[in-house]
Amino acid sequence: DSGVTQTPKHLITATGQRVTLRCSPRSGDLSVYWYQQSLDQGLQFLIQYYNGEERAKGNILERFSAQQFPDLHSELNLSSLELGDSALYFCASSAAGVENSPLHFGNGTRLTVT
Amino acid sequence: ILNVEQSPQSLHVQEGDSTNFTCSFPSSNFYALHWYRWETAKSPEALFVMTLNGDEKKKGRISATLNTKEGYSYLYIKGSQPEDSATYLCASNSGGYQKVTFGTGTKLQVIP
């Protein structure tokens, strides 16, 4: 158990809808990362937060947004969903800078858009 | 090298064989190189974090080396066992301090 909790585990929704994915980092970790894994693709970096502030952004679509709250949990909001958004979304947390701390991954949220 | 690249894409070895994989990454603005093991139906688990040129890390039968000047890292598994079967990912934040970018992984299958 990595200590990172993601909810829900599975999500099935229709095109055009909006969903929210939630992540609770390991106790004490200040950084949260979001990744997308589509079919036959690797882990694509979406966005990273540190202690409530956005610190790095990847190829995140404008329809997607995220935030990290004062209690350090994070939410990834996906709107105007398309079939191609179906993927496994991972959250990871780390204690400090990347030169010192590995990422600890949650079990992922599998999103299916129909 | 603009992205994190791994080779080979997949590998089948016999139990007891030793094997190694390669990770190539941008050498400019380098901060760290991570290795993870990802078993089927689980989430990735960290193996090593390396930062200095010439770093060598070891955990049991698995070890890794780092060359930051030429932008590559090797992961070695000595005496492969069936439980070593997994996808091995490397990641680097060369694209930005906190932008941890993953390679597509090397899928290892160890045949008993």
What is the helix, strand, coil percentage profile of chain B, to 5?
Answer: 5, 50, 45
Other C-beta atoms lying within 10 Å of the C-beta of residue B5:
15
**The pair of three-digit structure tokens given for residue A84, joined into one six-digit string:** 């191609």
User: What confidence category does residue A100 fall into, taking pLDDT thresholds of 50, 70 and 90?
Assistant: confident
Cβ A102–B49 below 8 Å, yes or no? Answer: yes
Task: Read off the pLDDT of residues A58-92 as tens digits, 9 standing for 90 and up.
Answer: 889 999 999 999 999 999 999 999 999 999 999 99
Task: Read off the pLDDT of residues A14-63 as tens digits, 9 standing for 90 and up.
Answer: 999 999 999 999 999 999 999 999 987 889 999 999 999 998 898 899 99
Inter-chain CB pairs, A–B, below 8 Å: 67
Residues 6+ apart with CB under 8 A from A60: A46, A47, A66
**Residues B59-85: what's their mean pLDDT?**
97
Instruction: Assess whether pLDDT exceeds 80 at residue B65.
Output: yes
Is B34 part of the contact surface with chain A (CB cutoff 8 Å)? yes
Long-range pairs for A64-69: beta carbons < 8 A, 24 or more residues apart: A66/A34, A68/A32
What local confidence, expressed as pLDDT, does residue A110 receive? 97
**Is B20 in contact with B13 (CB distance < 8 Å)?**
no
- Best of B43, B94, B104 to disrupt the A interface (most A CBs within 10 Å) is B43
| Contact residues, chain A, for B46 at CB < 8 Å | 102-104
Nearest CA in chain A to B4: A42
Q: What is the mean pLDDT of chain B?
A: 93
